[in-house]
Amino acid sequence: MKIETLQEVQQVTNSLRILCNRPTGLAPTIPVTLLHPILNVFNGDCQSYTPRTEDYRFAQELSTLSRFYSRESERQVAFMDACSKYGLNIEGQSVAGTGYATDGSIVHNQWPCLIVKFKNEIGSTGAEAVFQAAAYYRAYMQRNKSRLNMKFTFPCIGLYMIGPLMGFFGMVYTTFVNLQMLGQPVRLDYHKTGDDQWTSLARHLGALREAIKKLKALYSEESEMMTQVQMTSMDAIFYPAYCEFDQFDQVKSVEYTSQPFDGKLVFHGKCDGKEVVTKFVKRYSLELHNLCQQNGWAPRILGSRDLQGGWTMVVMERLDESWKMACGYDKTEKLCAEIRKVLVVIHQYNYVHGDVRDVNIMVKEEGERQLIKLVDFDWGGKIGETRYPRNVGDCRLVRRPAGVCDGELVLTDHDMHMLDYMFQDIVLCDSPWWTKKVEYM
């Protein structure tokens, strides 16, 4: 597949496009790691799995493939021979009803668990390896008409080998092929003293073997998952696979109903008949949220769960319609004072919020009072410890104080300056209680 063809396929209007962040932005909001737990666990295992003896031996066996091959097919055969010794029976297979034939794949009960694509060396010509593997996966999905009766994401792992370089990616099928790189690229030509590098290779291989076992079990005829997918609602494939969370000593479950914000991993749903909001985040200050909740300044947390791959699932009450974003209110001195009072107490308890904007502040009119609740504690945490994430934001779109940059400390001054920006058109309040400790606990 030529570059020009890839560019055409990846046009936004093309129904064959692959959602893989090439070009930048052409990616699904929900990553494949949240659309099926096997892919999420594999991604986490690539970082944390403890290699066993067989994994190290597997890595040593594959290291012989770092030599030069005159033909791509020679490396392909050598790789499959090595894998067969460690429980991965990979074969080149034709995709029935299409003109495609994989370089190597593991197919179980007609469903692909692993698709492998080889390139002899980095400078080799021909189709881009990842896109070619994704095209094979799409062909498997489209020719298998039984898929139409199964509201399921059909997880599959992809593996590319280009010379001594090997990498992994996950694929699921919704309306399009969704693809995400998993783990880290590894090589087969590390120096003999590169213990950490060899351990990383063994870790990835061990994670792969475990994931393939799980995928084969998933696609078994007796698999409980495969017998239940026909009962899943049509929309379910567009929601995360994770719905259970911990509430004290109980396990609760969320039924998702909508995704209210484009580009955000925030979902509306129901739990025990009540409206809830669920967020999936890589960082979140539950401590700060709890502090605000205890004072009535945040929605009530119902529970959370730590997931593989660094994800946290946070479930909280959904505020009723009497609560509106602060951006919908007049920027009055009274409202400014209420918000500033909340921020002062947060700072006095040694916390910062980090993203004080009117879209992250909910307001409710109660008589002559304006009640405040903060949301979005992703950037919050302890003063002196909490740093801004990468891609903190384009300052041309969101005005932020000097010093607000990727990786820098979140300061109390930043919170206050962000508040000032919200109310820049009025004379800002400067109450004397500002500098005194206010007891609200």
Average pLDDT of the chain to the nearest whole number: 89
Share of the chain above pLDDT 90, in %: 74
Residue 292: CATH number of its domain:
3.30.200
25 and 174 inside one domain: yes
Share of the chain above pLDDT 70, in %: 90
Q: Is residue 440 part of a domain?
A: no
Q: Give the residue with greater pLDDT, 93 vs 40.
A: 40
Residue 390: CATH number of its domain:
1.10.510.10
Decide: helix, strand or coil at residue 148.
Answer: helix
- Which among 68, 125, 349, 87 has a CA at the least distance from the CA of 215? 87
Q: Is residue 85 part of a domain?
A: yes
Question: What does the alpha-carbon distance between residue 173 and residue 111 come to, in Å, rounded to a whole number?
Answer: 12
Question: What does the alpha-carbon distance between residue 26 and residue 9 come to, in Å, rounded to a whole number?
Answer: 12
395 and 354 inside one domain: yes
Which of 158, 193, 227 terminates a domain? The answer is 227
How confident is residue 218, by pLDDT bands cut at 50, 70 and 90? very high
Q: Is residue 441 part of a domain?
A: no
How confident is residue 425, by pLDDT bands cut at 50, 70 and 90? low
Instruction: Flag whether pLDDT at 236 surpasses 60.
Output: no
H or E stretch covering 42:
helix 37-48
Distance of CA 75 to the CA centre of its chain: 33
Q: What is the pTM of this model?
A: 0.89
| Mean pLDDT, residues 273-290 | 97
How confident is residue 331, by pLDDT bands cut at 50, 70 and 90? confident
| Mean pLDDT, residues 90-111 | 90
219 and 276 inside one domain: no
Question: What does the alpha-carbon distance between residue 371 and residue 382 come to, in Å, rounded to a whole number?
Answer: 25
181 and 74 inside one domain: yes
H or E stretch covering 34:
helix 32-35
| Mean pLDDT, residues 92-114 | 91
Helix axes 333-348, 286-294, angle to 10 degrees: 120
Beta bridge partners of 278: 267, 315
Nearest 5°: the CA angle 390, 392, 397 is: 145
Write the burial class of residue 47 (CB in 10 Å: 0-12 exposed, 13-18 middle, 19+ buried).
middle
Which of 317, 348, 377 terminates a domain? The answer is 317
311 and 408 inside one domain: no
51 and 31 inside one domain: yes
Q: Is residue 176 part of a domain?
A: yes
Q: Residue 144: its pLDDT value, please? A: 79
| Mean pLDDT, residues 401-409 | 94
Q: Is residue 23 part of a domain?
A: yes
Identify whether 401 is preceded by a cis peptide bond (ω within 30 of 0). Answer: no
Which of 302, 317, 332 terminates a domain? The answer is 317
Q: Is residue 235 part of a domain?
A: no
Q: Compute φ and ψ for 253, nearest 5 degrees.
A: -130, 140
180 and 48 inside one domain: yes
Q: Is residue 68 part of a domain?
A: yes
What tokens does 84 get? 């067969």
How confident is residue 230, by pLDDT bands cut at 50, 70 and 90? very low
120 and 197 inside one domain: yes
Mode of pairing for the β-strands spanning 301-306 and 312-317: antiparallel
Domain containing 371 equals: 324-435
How confident is residue 150, by pLDDT bands cut at 50, 70 and 90? confident
Q: Is residue 17 part of a domain?
A: yes
Give the other-Cβ count within 10 Å of 195's Cβ: 10
Over residues 19-64, the pLDDT tens digits come to 999 999 899 999 999 999 999 999 999 999 999 999 999 999 999 9
342 and 308 inside one domain: no
Q: Give the residue with greater pLDDT, 149 vs 440.
A: 149
110 and 219 inside one domain: yes
Q: Residue 427: its pLDDT value, please? A: 40
347 and 299 inside one domain: no
Q: Residue 316: its pLDDT value, please? A: 98
394 and 412 inside one domain: yes
How confident is residue 225, by pLDDT bands cut at 50, 70 and 90? low
Domain tally, the chain:
3
